[in-house]
Structure 1
Amino acid sequence: MKLIRICFLFVFVLFSYSAFSQWQPAGEKLKTEWANKVHPDNVLPEYPRPVMEREEWKNLNGIWEYSIAGRSTNKPSAHDGEILVPFPIESSLSGVMRRVEPSQVLWYDRNFTIPQEWDGKNIKLNFGAVDWEAEIWINNVKIGSHTGGYTPFSFDITPFLKDGEQEISIRVWDPTNEGPQPRGKQVREPEGIYYTPVTGIWQTVWLEPVNRKSFKKVNFTSDIDNNTVKLDTETTDFESGDIVEVIILEDDKEINRSKFTAGESLDIILSDPKLWSPDSPFLYRTIVKLISDKEIVDEVKSYFAMRKISKKRDENGIVRMQLNNEDYFHFGPLDQGWWPDGLYTAPTDEALKYDIVKTKEMGYNMIRKHVKVEPARWYTHCDELGILVWQDMPSGDQQKDWQMRKYFEGNELVRSAESEEIFRKEWKEIMDYLMPYPGIVVWVPFNEAWGQFKTEEITEWTSNYDPSRLINSASGGNHFQTGDILDLHQYPDPQLYLYDANRVTVLGEYGGIGLPMDGHLWATDKNWGYVQFESTKEVTDKYIEYAETLKDLIRAGFSGAVYTQTTDVEGEVNGLMTYDRKKDKMNIKRISKINREVINILKE
């Protein structure tokens, strides 16, 4: 018996080693230290949806088979090779590092099994994000499709399952910059401020068992002025008599237990609530149950924060942003969320969290997430660590007239009916997806006139859809007298060249101080920043010089500022860190000190 066990162990180890040895990062491009921690048997193993977490689930990340074919052709009969999901095919960590043209489609295939203990349950197939158009087959039956590269989507695959092993196939098409869809900085010919395209699955794929009646959405909205938090839920197939029960925990101690009818909402009163802020990021943990016929049919863990974002005119007549009814200066980096080895996808959850940890270490209290939407865990890390988030809509379509230094006097871009429909659908889905995360305090629908259309209408819709956050309708121009914020861009040095006495005025981008560091470059040539220096001391000195200027401009009217940027990205070398995150560009102690001084100006 002992010999049999030894033989079995040997075969298992041999098989595991063989599977691992067949996958390797592709290419010779820059890598982060976390690339060495990626293993095909344990890719991003953390539960991917922290605001609605269930105990039972199965991760489908790992080795899949892929093929590339013409868009108008049938599925190939043979595969081109293996790909490591969820890293996009253009990335090194996919193990492939191939481009997919707009005239082509990318096919994914793999088999999976349903755990026996899930018998009798409905099986949900969940995708974190797939860029851009995905069609899904289960056991050779097409079960559905989804468009949109930044939002999660799910299917109940129960009716299509068979005994034994299951087959899944996914067909993905992405036109990149040949289409009008939101795509951020992706282009087919990357250079300058535009980067490598991302195609296909780039966030976790997973299965979870649910009952026929289950939660579709759980969302908390706080009201600190009345010491209440409102809970909204959506459920599948709920009936009269079904009940939602919520348990609220403070430091693991139950402080409230409430029940209400499914399909309704509930305002819960909290006695002397603890407020959330970057200095004290307290989160209330919750357990939410769905009860039908006196039985618990679904149970999820979630959380919320008691915080308020608003604006108010101060004693000098300047409209200031407020956090929890106090003037609060927002200061942080422009964060593009790109990785040299995974492109859109961080190698590990530790890596995903790292940029936020460093942002806090540098003394900032905010991040502007620039024309990209992150996996859900990124936002939870911000909530837990204490970071305010300005969330951009990923840009798409065309840039028409761009006027920066005056209120807009030109003709707005006229999108096609298809382009406009895509924007509205995806913006709503992004807001729905991110609504539960309390760290998000500002929505940014347009950046630098890129794809900007019907600004006043889109701003009004956004504000009405989520009145709990501020709307920065046009970052960097074209400026309309709408929304809550006037957002100026100015490189490299801060300048206050336009002011709005009725809205918050912010410096939405500045800086871009460049420092190429040998051994940490994506490309050995064509590296640029808005200004470039040759040493850490020089860039730190220039950063502090700009920060001293910013202090005076805050007193004159700025209520927030965004420094470009968190890391180098491909050919851009204006990061606070190198692209591989292995080197800080500046003296962290010095910039942390000056950053805190900038933030505290309004407290003087």
Structure 2
Amino acid sequence: MSNLKTRWTDNVNYDCPLSEYPRPQLVRNDWQCLNGKFEFTITGMTDDIPQDFDGEIVVPFAPECYLSGIEKTIEPDDYLWYRKKFILDDCFEGKRCILHFEAVDWRCMVFFNGKPVGTHQGGYLPFSFDVTEYLNEGYNELVVRVNDPTETNWQDRGKQVRKSVGFWYTATSGIWQSVWLEPVNEKHIENIRLTPDIDASAIRIETELKYAENTQLRAIIKKDDSIVFAGTISPDETVKLRDIRLWSPEDPFLYDIVIALCDENEKILDVVSSYFGMRKFSIGYDDKAIPRLYLNNKPYFQTGLLDQGYWPDGGMTPACDEAMIFDIKEMKNLGFNMLRKHIKIEPRRWYYHCDKLGMIVWQDMVCGAKKIDMFFVGVLPNMFIRSIPDSHYKWFGVDNEECRREHEKAVFDTVDHLYNCTSIGCWVPFNESWGQFDAKRIGEAVKAYDPTRIVDHASGWHDQKGPELKSVHQYILPFIPPKGDGRPLVLSEFGGYSRIIENHVWNREKSFGYVMYKTKETLTRAYKKLFKKQIIPNVKKGLSATVYTQVSDVEFEVNGIYTYDRELLKIDADTIREINDKLKTMPNN
């Protein structure tokens, strides 16, 4: 643990933190936030709901972090229990009540007014239960039981460990994203799926309905304040749009859409609102027949950063909405147009802000495996042994069939979960062979499932020649582009230049980085030289995207361009902007 805070730490509203609407991609007017103070206790693995609770924990902050108010490690044989009593708002009168959890890590069981409602397994995706039949008049009681084995199990967990060290970070257990309630009618809209097609100037609208008999759908699409479509639609409708305005980081324009479900008498049963951007991510060829990344049918160099989404006060949970916005805005102000969200899935509002602000996202899938062999996944690749077949499951730490099955399911669940996020331009099923298996097959399946995004089937080490990128990681040693193989070349991790700044570091004695610098001036010179010598010359040879490591320090890692508390930029801002401006203009010259 550390005493390091951020500028937002002391302004958290502990009665209802992160109180903004948690699902911007599918909005209803009525909802009730349950974030705030819950009772908690930690027990052995017993099925009986405890009668006595030890104290209070602030949800949605994990127990391991400062903002939770308890800073406790959850052991593999622990049960972490939450309890909250509350009264439903008036908007639930005569409606069904849906209980939403945006993310709970890892295996949980939910009780409502003493009765078991359901279970869920998996730490990064949302889930919900209809609790209408369990409601009381007056006070209701929610109890949640969580078990999180972390690194002792095969589960998808990213970089979480119970005792952080090096580039393995403090675990996030239990509830770590928002908990909320939503009133709906018996007949209602369950989900929408929006697919832009700029070549056809059209938007495909797919609508999932609950109890849809004798109903009809109506939609309104707005461009700024002008209505560009209004009418009845089918559950799978393609709407033509005139004079479309494209989405890009330079002009992140979003259309607004409202969908209403009506009965046969045109009475409105449900209304949801959303948004979409008209954009296209694809691969094309320049005038030298070199494959390039394209945005909206034009070559588009993506200059990005690795973004792990960790905070010294909240772990994987930012203190507030403003903290999320800060990271995106600051990186954009420095000239970056892409963030690679590294083996973590953020709250849905983070993607909404990327959509609104104009930041392309490469979304990693969260990795698992019971034990990762660092010699195999760390040492050998740095000796340029990078093409071992990932059918050797044991070598990759995935000889457990349940591990492979659950990870593959989570890959497609993640695509479904984030499908409507305009900014997501690339799916990354595997990173540096951590828990990697059948990457070519899975990459091809992801591309078939969502043809609107690029797929980086194996970022970094053991390339299986799958779709759609030649994805290279290079630290310490100079970057030498590999021979072209028909796929766009991306340098999806590099740099990691490090600097310790006193009073802005997690742990001075245990901090580490690949290459250390003592001053802002020496680090800036090294950063500039790296791009001038190794990056810019290779853009003409086919380099289509770069991902510098990283947005900020994370715990013991001090290789961020920002300190972990987001207070100090370690590299000269003008130098960063100048390099990014150069990179972004090169493919079009």
Q: Equivalent residues in 2 for 1:382-531 (5 A)?
A: 382-397=354-369, 398-399=371-372, 401-402=376-377, 404=381, 405=384, 408-410=387-389, 411-413=391-393, 414-492=398-476, 495-531=479-515
Counterpart of 1:113, as a letter, is I
Distance 1:474 1:579 in 2: 28
Which residue does 1:327 correspond to in 2? 299
Q: Equivalent residues in 2 for 1:91-490 (5 A)?
A: 91-239=65-213, 241-261=214-234, 264-293=235-264, 294-397=266-369, 398-399=371-372, 401-402=376-377, 404=381, 405=384, 408-410=387-389, 411-413=391-393, 414-490=398-474
Query: Residue 313 of structure 1: CA displacement?
Result: 2.2
Q: What do residues 326-350 of structure 1 show as CA deviations (whole Å, max 9, x unaligned)?
A: 0111111100000000001000000
Which residue does 1:601 correspond to in 2? 586
Q: Kindly indicate whether the alpha-carbon contact (under 8 Å) linking 2:2 and 2:507 is maintained by their aligned counterparts in 1.
A: no
Distance 1:425 1:480 in 2: 20
- Structure 1 unpaired stretches of 5+: 1-26
TM-score between the two structures when normalised by the length of structure 2: 0.95
1:537 matched to 2:509? The reply is no
Distance 2:478 2:279 in 1: 30
Q: Kindly indicate whether the alpha-carbon contact (under 8 Å) linking 2:60 and 2:177 is maintained by their aligned counterparts in 1.
A: yes
Q: Kindly indicate whether the alpha-carbon contact (under 8 Å) linking 1:128 and 1:203 is maintained by their aligned counterparts in 2.
A: yes
Counterpart of 1:577, as a letter, is Y
- What SS is found at the alignment partner of 2:504? coil
Q: 1:388–1:109: structure 2 CA closer, same or farther, 3 Å change rule?
A: same
Counterpart of 1:412, as a letter, is H
Q: What do residues 460-490 of structure 1 show as CA deviations (whole Å, max 9, x unaligned)?
A: 2111111111110000021011111111000
Distance 2:134 2:510 in 1: 51
Instruction: Tell me how many residue pairs correspond in the alignment.
Output: 575
Query: Residue 162 of structure 1: CA displacement?
Result: 1.4
Q: Kindly indicate whether the alpha-carbon contact (under 8 Å) linking 2:16 and 2:34 is maintained by their aligned counterparts in 1.
A: no
Among 11, 16, 23, the residue aligned to 1:37 = 11
Which residue does 1:4 correspond to in 2? none
Query: Residue 574 of structure 1: CA displacement?
Result: 0.5
Counterpart of 1:164, as a letter, is G
- What SS is found at the alignment partner of 1:423? helix
Query: Residue 494 of structure 1: CA displacement?
Result: 5.3
Among 551, 557, 570, the residue aligned to 1:585 = 570
Query: Residue 315 of structure 1: CA displacement?
Result: 2.0
Which residue does 2:551 correspond to in 1? 566
Distance 1:500 1:75 in 2: 60
Q: Kindly indicate whether the alpha-carbon contact (under 8 Å) linking 2:2 and 2:506 is maintained by their aligned counterparts in 1.
A: no
Distance 1:77 1:393 in 2: 39
Q: What do residues 286-344 of structure 1 show as CA deviations (whole Å, max 9, x unaligned)?
A: 11111122111111110000000000122222110100000111111100000000001
Which residue does 1:6 correspond to in 2? none
Q: Kindly indicate whether the alpha-carbon contact (under 8 Å) linking 2:425 and 2:453 is maintained by their aligned counterparts in 1.
A: yes
Distance 1:259 1:415 in 2: 51
Distance 1:300 1:275 in 2: 24
- What SS is found at the alignment partner of 1:33? coil
Distance 2:254 2:478 in 1: 35
Which residue does 1:58 correspond to in 2? 32
TM-score between the two structures when normalised by the length of structure 1: 0.93
Query: Residue 73 of structure 1: CA displacement?
Result: 5.7
Identity %: 40
Q: Kindly indicate whether the alpha-carbon contact (under 8 Å) linking 1:494 and 1:511 is maintained by their aligned counterparts in 2.
A: no
Query: Residue 33 of structure 1: CA displacement?
Result: 0.8
Distance 1:77 1:154 in 2: 26
Query: Residue 72 of structure 1: CA displacement?
Result: 4.0
Distance 1:399 1:599 in 2: 37
- Structure 2 unpaired stretches of 5+: none
Which residue does 2:54 correspond to in 1? 80
Q: What do residues 183-224 of structure 1 show as CA deviations (whole Å, max 9, x unaligned)?
A: 111012211111000001011111111001111111210111
Counterpart of 2:128, as a letter, is S
Q: Kindly indicate whether the alpha-carbon contact (under 8 Å) linking 2:38 and 2:58 is maintained by their aligned counterparts in 1.
A: yes
Deviates more, 1:72-81 or 1:143-152: 72-81
Query: Residue 492 of structure 1: CA displacement?
Result: 3.4
- What SS is found at the alignment partner of 1:358? helix
Distance 2:562 2:508 in 1: 17
- What SS is found at the alignment partner of 2:282? strand
Distance 2:236 2:17 in 1: 37
Query: Residue 273 of structure 1: CA displacement?
Result: 0.1
Counterpart of 1:274, as a letter, is R
Deviates more, 1:379-388 or 1:547-556: 547-556
- What SS is found at the alignment partner of 2:459? coil
- What SS is found at the alignment partner of 1:108? strand
Q: Kindly indicate whether the alpha-carbon contact (under 8 Å) linking 2:260 and 2:272 is maintained by their aligned counterparts in 1.
A: yes
Distance 2:322 2:136 in 1: 37
Q: Kindly indicate whether the alpha-carbon contact (under 8 Å) linking 2:217 and 2:259 is maintained by their aligned counterparts in 1.
A: yes
Query: Residue 596 of structure 1: CA displacement?
Result: 1.3
Counterpart of 1:528, as a letter, is F
Query: Residue 257 of structure 1: CA displacement?
Result: 1.0
Query: Residue 520 of structure 1: CA displacement?
Result: 0.5
Q: What do residues 512-535 of structure 1 show as CA deviations (whole Å, max 9, x unaligned)?
A: 010100000111211111101011
